[in-house]
Structure 1
Amino acid sequence: MAQRDESLAVKIAAMVLTLAAGWLAQKAVGMIWEKSTGHHAPTDLDDDEITVVQAVTFAAVSGGVAVLARRLTRRGVVRAAARITPKPPPA
C-alpha cells in the first residue's frame, strides 16, 4: 500500500469538499428518486410503508453515489494540490 504524503491543507480541503459533495449527492439522489418513483426519498428505511425492494434499492443507490462523490472529490483535491504546490528544482 502506497504511503500518502499530504499536507494538512490538502487533508482539510479534502474533508470539507467531501462533506459538500456528500450533501450535494444526497440532494441529487433525493430529487432523482422523487422524479422516478413519484414519492419522497425514504428517510427511515425501517418504516413499514417502504417495501424491502425500495429500501434496498435506495440504500444501494445512495451508498454508491456517496462512494463515487467521495472518490472523485478526493482525486480532484489531490490533483489541484499537485498543480498548486511548487515542484522542487531538478538536482
Structure 2
Amino acid sequence: MGPTAWKLLGTAAAVAAGSVANKVVSGVWEKAAGKPAPNDPLNTDDVSWKEALLFAALSGLVIQLTRVAAQRKAAQMYQKRAGHLPKAIADRI
C-alpha cells in the first residue's frame, strides 16, 4: 500500500465520519430544541445568535471528534494491512 491508498482511505474515512456526525448533531438538536436544526445559521430571520453559535460549536466539536476517530481507525487498518504506518503519519512522529 502506498501514499495514494492512504490518501483515499484517510479522506474516505473523514468524509464518511463528517456525514454521520452531521446527521447525529441534527438529530440531537431536534430532540433537545424541539425544532429542526438550523439549515442556514446565517438566516437572521429564523435563527437567533445564540442558536447559530451553539449549533456551530456543537457541530464543530462532534464533527472533529468523529473525523479524528475515523482517521485513527483508518491508520490502524492501513498499518495492519501494510505492516507499517502510512508515510505521511510516520514522517510526523
After alignment, is 44-53 or 55-64 more displaced? 44-53
Match of 1:68 in 2: 65
Match of 2:53 in 1: 56
Identify, as 1 or 2, the structure richer in helix. 2
* Structure whose alpha-carbon radius of gyration is higher: 1
- Report the TM-score when normalising by structure 1: 0.82
Q: Structure 1 stretches of 5 or more lacking a match?
A: 1-5
The number of equivalent residue pairs is 82
Matched, 1:30 2:10: no
Deviations 1:14-35 (A, max 9, x none): 1112111111100010001001
Match of 2:36 in 1: 40
Deviations 1:33-75 (A, max 9, x none): 0011111000111222211111100000001111111111111
Q: Secondary structure at the match of 1:53?
A: helix
Distance 1:36 1:22 in 2: 21
Match of 2:89 in 1: none
Q: Structure 2 stretches of 5 or more lacking a match?
A: 85-93
Q: Secondary structure at the match of 1:43?
A: coil
Q: Which runs of 4+ in 1 moved over 4 A?
A: none
Distance 2:6 2:23 in 1: 26
